[in-house]
Structure 1
Amino acid sequence: MRDFHMPGRSEILAANGVCATSHPLAAQAAVDILKQGGNAMDAAIAGAVLLGICEPQMTGIGGDCFVLYTDPSSGEIKALNGSGRAPAAASAAALRAAGETAVPVYSAHAVTVPGAVDAFCHLSETVGRIGLDRILAPAIHYAEEGVPVAPRVAFDWGNEAAKLQGAARDAYLIDGRVPKAGEIFRAPGQAEVLRRIARDGRDAFYTGEVAEDICATLNALGGVHQTADFAATRCLETTPVSGPYNGAELFEHPPNGQGATAILMLKILSHFDIAGMDPFGAQRAHVEAEAAKLAYDARNRFIADPDRTARLDHMLAPETAERLAGLIDMTRAMDAPAAVSEAVHKDTIYITVVDRDRMAVSLIYSIYHGFGSGIASNKFGILLQNRGAGFTLEEGHPNELTGGNRPMHTIIPGMLRDDDGALMPFGVMGGAYQPNGHARAVSNLRDFGMDLQAALDAPRSFSDAGTMKIERGYSEAVRQQLADMGHKMTIPDAPIGGAQAIRIRPDGVLEGASDPRKDGCALGY
């Protein structure tokens, strides 16, 4: 139990339903959907789409999603891949011939076909209860009427606005400037698109005027996108991957998401006495950083489009983790393995909902970098993701940019099933940090017995591209000890990631927690 003399917040407790996410309006909209008779999937989609209006720098209908969810009748955990593909005419060879060594991050070449809308429509039809018109009503309302810009959103907006180009500047700036906290942001073009989707389903987005608007915008910037690429977009039902850790089982979305990286990282950490370490000390931060370097190197070698990920079993094999753990020197930092494919970013949203029937939904939804590619469609102002920057141009690599393939994704929804029967849908935003964040949250709970909110509040560190980012929650003494081990230290301007979680306790009560690094909250009824 937390010290009530100190700043902080408690978990929220509810019996009927809970939503935890990064903006209060989205959490409220999701709970309202539950009260109207919708299930957790209806509520999660409603909240997620609204987050594209409340946090447009993080996500939107021009992006992708991944979803884990439970069948309340059987308890089975299911997965849905809502990531889009590169256009059929995309070619790493063409970019290499043009002198590129990586996919240009803020260009039409980095824009993959958005997959989230197809996924949301599919899940509404096959899992939801109340239909798209009611699910999308909150987002349509706020897109038209506007939302006050929240403080953390305003902070991020200011940091990322320089990437906006062309029509995106008109759609996402107010009189040519970054909005201030409390100013009203409206997205009338998106409201119109959402109305069409609510009426006509996925075809309203992937065929006709909306798809033509997106393709024309990208073609004018050198993109090779065709309306046939949009019409062919389909989400993929798949099966989670999982691995044990200290009396619990962690479930992750399979490739092309990077969730297997979190499982491998925990398997490496299981070879050390993490519970015997100071949770906020140098020793734990060091071994976690070293495990992350090794797990992320494996990710960069193996994770790609599902049809091209050939060595996942090897990546998750116990002997692989054992060998990697043997490479860790507890007194000295190793050099960071070279990144193969990832353009680092930190922007996404995560939402989790549990309903009265105990359906649990873990949904993550992103446009990749802050404001994605910086490109918005000319007519409707749909901001387009730059997920294609997750490809490599290395010839013959499993994750090489190839027409029709999905890139390696950083966004990962998670679920943790404890040996006492408790289930916890959770997610940790933060781009590259996400597998490390999943491992840190699971370890906080399982190794140190932290309460759910405390596990999300706790200070974070992340060894990224040769530098250990460490939050101000760590003491100067710990930072010095890590520097003495050879870690190059920096305190980032923004906190590392953000997290949301709901725990379905064995007694059936729901606990919700929301990271104070964001503007959001957990709400229940």
Structure 2
Amino acid sequence: MNNVMPIAYRGMVATPHYLASGVGNMILQQGGNAFDAAVAISATLGVAYPHMTGLGGDSFFLIYDAQQGELKGLNGTGRAGSQLTPEFYRGQGLSSIPQRGIGSVVTVPGMVDAWWEVSSTYGRLPWKQLLEPAIEYAEHGVPVSRDLERWILKDQALLLADPSLSRTFMPNGVPLKQGERLVQPELATTLITISIEGKEAFYQGALMQNMVAAMKQAGGMLDEQDFRDHHCNWVTPLTTTYNGSTLAQMPPNSQGFSALQMMNMLELANLSSIPRDSADFYQLISEVTKKAFRDRDAYLTDPVFANIPLERLLSKEHAKSLYDEIQLASPVGDVFQSQAMGQDTAYAAVIDDAGNAVSFIQSLYFDFGSAYVAGDSGVIMQNRGSFFSLDDEAVNVLTPHKRTFHTLMPGMVLRDGKPVLLLGTQGGEGQPQTTISLLTGVLDYGCTIQEAIALPRWVYGRTWGEDSDTYKIENRGLDQTISELERRGYLVEPLQGWDPVVGQAQGISIQKDGSFSGAADPRGDGLAIGW
């Protein structure tokens, strides 16, 4: 089920939706750079993949500026509103933040501000030009994709409960099917306003005021000042080394450091000597995951509000101590180990002929986010803040102006200071696990990026709506391996051979001769396009 892996010299785009990939390629051919293409792709994904991402969500951009030879990160995630506290929810008799509805709208969306920052700092095409494709698709429609149809069918009750979502995705109470036209006129109007007024429309102008008024009327607690105060941040990416390569991830509030921890441990294992389809491989991966998640869950939150000892957590000495704890013959740990997380995300990558590279990821958190649209804006608001805890002793406790623990984590691999691999995936708990599947596939097992994406994948943990941790493994000829894992004490949940529950990954590989190889996940609706 490997897709054709395109190879090109001028540029490469890989996204989870074929129309977004086409837009990115078009922007490059119009004279835009990778940064322009990334913004146009991101906006288009918000229209073509609205169950995964949109203007009401967050994003992270991992950027390589070829002219400066510099790697930078942009944290485009929103903060909790000034009036949102644990007491607010506990006063309603709640022990946790609602996962859906207006009560789950806790944080200001960071997406539009991140677009503006990337475009104004690095882009060379006009702002309006970058949003034109998204406006065109919102106004005149896009065909419903295979993945979108699947989530519309699953979420019918949620969609029918919101008038805007119902009109858009369930016209006359009937779910849109694959290939039918999805038209979003209200979202088109919002995008047009933003294309004319810039980011100020979303954070200061009448558009913002109307969205806040609608949310207030529905019982929401975000106010106009929360939007006015929002700003994204340029940050320094985290790095570690792995057998001569430099691995880069976003710093907290992203969970990216957990993947770096896993790779630090795996570096001690001489992984290439362990067959990729063996029970020993899957057991080692599971135990490494649990050790990294133990640290992640203990420390990860907004670093402005907590001390996160990253130097120690990412040290080779700490990796050695964790690795020494791992006993390959030990049984699986207790159930209910992890907190349930949303898994719905869109990752994309783009590189241009100058060597500029962008690895970026965006999300509404759950499918269709909060399942609430702010007034007549067409903007589906994220429910990312529902992951905050109401426990005052928890590291990720809800606090005004705080960013929450974030699953999003775009990745990059560099050698001699230059990118050689851009990669990332959808998937909540699965994001660091799929990341290490791709990394080890390329770096240890000699796969192309397309072959690495196509390898059987796994997810250890607990997805929202489930009662316990399980070890989900795509079963492509792995019956014997799964039986052996069960004999060793693992609660294995075999998946179909190409299961969307393991997420949708994309990647771009840069070869020594300067060519680019791109790959999109056959489990999704994506496409890699080279120029």
Q: Same fold (TM over 0.5)?
A: yes
Q: Is the 8 A contact 1:57 1:160 kept in 2?
A: no
Hey, what does 1:257 align to over in structure 2? 254
Hey, what does 2:466 align to over in structure 1? none
Q: Is the 8 A contact 1:86 1:388 kept in 2?
A: yes
1:231 matches 2:237: no
1:166 matches 2:158: no
1:366 matches 2:363: yes
**Cα distance in 2 between the residues matched to 1:316 and 1:338:** 26
Distance apart, 1:331 and its partner CA: 1.6
- Structure 1 residues 460 and 472, CA, compared in 2 at 3 Å: closer, same or farther? same
Hey, what does 2:74 align to over in structure 1? 80
Hey, what does 2:97 align to over in structure 1? 103
1:323 corresponds to which letter in structure 2?
Answer: S
**Cα distance in 1 between the residues matched to 2:369 and 2:134:** 20
Hey, what does 2:152 align to over in structure 1? 157
**Cα distance in 2 between the residues matched to 1:434 and 1:261:** 10
1:21 counterpart (15, 26, 30): 15
**Cα distance in 2 between the residues matched to 1:97 and 1:269:** 46
Hey, what does 1:283 align to over in structure 2? 280
Q: Is the 8 A contact 1:85 1:404 kept in 2?
A: yes
1:503 corresponds to which letter in structure 2?
Answer: S
Q: Which moved more, 1:59-68 or 1:280-289?
A: 280-289
* Equivalent position SS for 2:37: helix
**Cα distance in 1 between the residues matched to 2:67 and 2:131:** 26
Q: Is the 8 A contact 1:85 1:405 kept in 2?
A: yes
What TM-score does the superposition give when structure 2 sets the normalisation length? Answer: 0.94
Distance apart, 1:243 and its partner CA: 0.9
Distance apart, 1:42 and its partner CA: 0.7
Hey, what does 1:184 align to over in structure 2? 181
1:461 corresponds to which letter in structure 2?
Answer: W
1:515 matches 2:512: no
Q: Is the 8 A contact 1:125 1:131 kept in 2?
A: no
Distance apart, 1:162 and its partner CA: 2.9
Hey, what does 2:382 align to over in structure 1? 385
1:505 matches 2:506: no
Distance apart, 1:126 and its partner CA: 1.1
Q: Is the 8 A contact 2:341 2:387 kept in 1?
A: no
* Equivalent position SS for 1:306: coil
Per-residue deviation, residues 364-421 of structure 1 (Å, max 9, x unmatched): 0110000001111121221000010221222133311111100011011110114696
2:494 counterpart (478, 488, 491): 491
Q: Percent identity?
A: 35
Q: Is the 8 A contact 1:68 1:79 kept in 2?
A: yes
**Cα distance in 2 between the residues matched to 1:121 and 1:505:** 31
Q: Is the 8 A contact 1:297 1:339 kept in 2?
A: no
Hey, what does 1:312 align to over in structure 2? 310
Per-residue deviation, residues 85-114 of structure 1 (Å, max 9, x unmatched): 110111013323433222211132322110
1:53 matches 2:53: no
Unaligned runs of 5+ in 2: 463-468
- Structure 1 residues 514 and 309, CA, compared in 2 at 3 Å: closer, same or farther? farther
**Cα distance in 1 between the residues matched to 2:331 and 2:440:** 21
1:335 matches 2:333: yes
**Cα distance in 1 between the residues matched to 2:90 and 2:477:** 43
Distance apart, 1:132 and its partner CA: 1.4
Q: Is the 8 A contact 1:399 1:408 kept in 2?
A: yes
Query: Aligned Cα RMSD in Å?
Result: 1.7
Runs of 4+ in 1 over 6 A off after TM superposition: none
Hey, what does 2:393 align to over in structure 1? 396
1:470 corresponds to which letter in structure 2?
Answer: I
Hey, what does 1:122 align to over in structure 2? 117
1:519 corresponds to which letter in structure 2?
Answer: D
Hey, what does 1:478 align to over in structure 2? 481
**Cα distance in 2 between the residues matched to 1:71 and 1:337:** 44
**Cα distance in 1 between the residues matched to 2:171 and 2:311:** 50
Distance apart, 1:150 and its partner CA: 1.3
- Structure 1 residues 281 and 410, CA, compared in 2 at 3 Å: closer, same or farther? same
**Cα distance in 2 between the residues matched to 1:226 and 1:50:** 28
Q: Is the 8 A contact 1:343 1:389 kept in 2?
A: no
**Cα distance in 1 between the residues matched to 2:77 and 2:521:** 26
Per-residue deviation, residues 164-215 of structure 1 (Å, max 9, x unmatched): 3323322332222321101000111111111111111011111233222322
**Cα distance in 1 between the residues matched to 2:49 and 2:56:** 13
Hey, what does 1:321 align to over in structure 2? 319
2:126 corresponds to which letter in structure 1?
Answer: G
**Cα distance in 2 between the residues matched to 1:459 and 1:485:** 20
- Structure 1 residues 414 and 221, CA, compared in 2 at 3 Å: closer, same or farther? same
**Cα distance in 2 between the residues matched to 1:323 and 1:66:** 31
Hey, what does 1:240 align to over in structure 2? 237
What TM-score does the superposition give when structure 1 sets the normalisation length? Answer: 0.95
Hey, what does 2:530 align to over in structure 1? 524
Aligned length: 518
* Equivalent position SS for 2:429: helix
Distance apart, 1:263 and its partner CA: 0.3
2:43 corresponds to which letter in structure 1?
Answer: V
**Cα distance in 2 between the residues matched to 1:238 and 1:333:** 40
Per-residue deviation, residues 5-55 of structure 1 (Å, max 9, x unmatched): xx5233211110110011111101111000111110111111111111111
* Equivalent position SS for 2:269: coil
- Structure 1 residues 278 and 96, CA, compared in 2 at 3 Å: closer, same or farther? same
Per-residue deviation, residues 484-508 of structure 1 (Å, max 9, x unmatched): 1111111346340111111121211
Hey, what does 2:465 align to over in structure 1? none
Unaligned runs of 5+ in 1: 1-6
* Equivalent position SS for 2:117: helix
1:471 corresponds to which letter in structure 2?
Answer: E
Distance apart, 1:142 and its partner CA: 0.4
Q: Is the 8 A contact 1:50 1:139 kept in 2?
A: yes
- Structure 1 residues 299 and 73, CA, compared in 2 at 3 Å: closer, same or farther? same
**Cα distance in 1 between the residues matched to 2:526 and 2:30:** 22
